[in-house]
Structure 1
Amino acid sequence: MTSVAPPPPSPAELTVVEVPVSDPRVKPLLRELADEYSTRYGEDAHAEMTRYPDEEFTAPHGGVLLLLLEHGEPVAGGAFRRYDETTAELKRIWTHSAHRRRGLARRVIAELEREARARGYRRIHLTTGPRQPEARGLYLATGYTPLFDTKADPETIGPLPFEKHLTTPSRT
Structure 2
Amino acid sequence: MDLRPSRLSDPHALELIARVQAEYVERYGGEDEAPIRYDEFDAPAGAFFIGYADLGAGPVPVAMGGWRRASTQALGGREVAEIKRMFVDAAARRRGYAAAVLRHLEQTAAEAGIDVLVLETGLRQPEAMALYEAHGYVPIPGYGYYRDAPLSRCYAKKLAKS
TM-score above 0.5: yes
CA separation in 2, counterparts of 1:64 and 1:127?
17
* Greater than 2 Å deviation, 4+ residue runs: 69-72
Aligned equivalent of 1:118: 111
* Count of residue pairs the alignment pairs up: 146
Give the counterpart of 2:2 among 10, 15, 23. Answer: 15
Structure number with larger C-alpha Rg: 1
* Superposed displacement of residue 90, structure 1: 0.3
CA–CA distance in structure 1, aligned partners of residues 5 and 79 of structure 2: 21
SS at match of 2:69: strand
1:18: Cα distance to partner?
0.8
Unaligned runs of 5+ in 2: 72-77, 142-148
Q: What is the percent sequence identity of the aligned residues?
A: 36
Correspondence for 1:52: 36
Q: CA deviation at 1:157?
A: 4.1
Q: What CA RMSD, in Å, does the superposition of the two structures yield over aligned residues?
A: 1.8
Matches within 5 A, 1:29-108: 29-43=16-30, 45=31, 48=33, 51-69=35-53, 71-84=58-71, 86-108=79-101
Tell me which amino acid in the other structure corresponds to 2:53: L
Task: Tell me the CA shift for residue 52 of structure 1.
Answer: 0.9
Q: Which residue of 1 aligns with 2:128?
A: 135
Structure 1 residues not aligned, in runs of 5+: 1-13, 149-155
Distance (whole Å) between structure 2 residues aligned to residue 118 and residue 72 of structure 1: 28
Output one character per residue of 1:72-112: Cα deviation in whole Å (capped at 9) or x when no partner: 31111111111136011001110011000111000000000
* 1:15 shift after superposition: 1.8
Provide, for residues 134-161 of structure 1, a one-character-per-residue CA deviation record: whole Å limited to 9, x for no partner: 111111111111126xxxxxxx943111
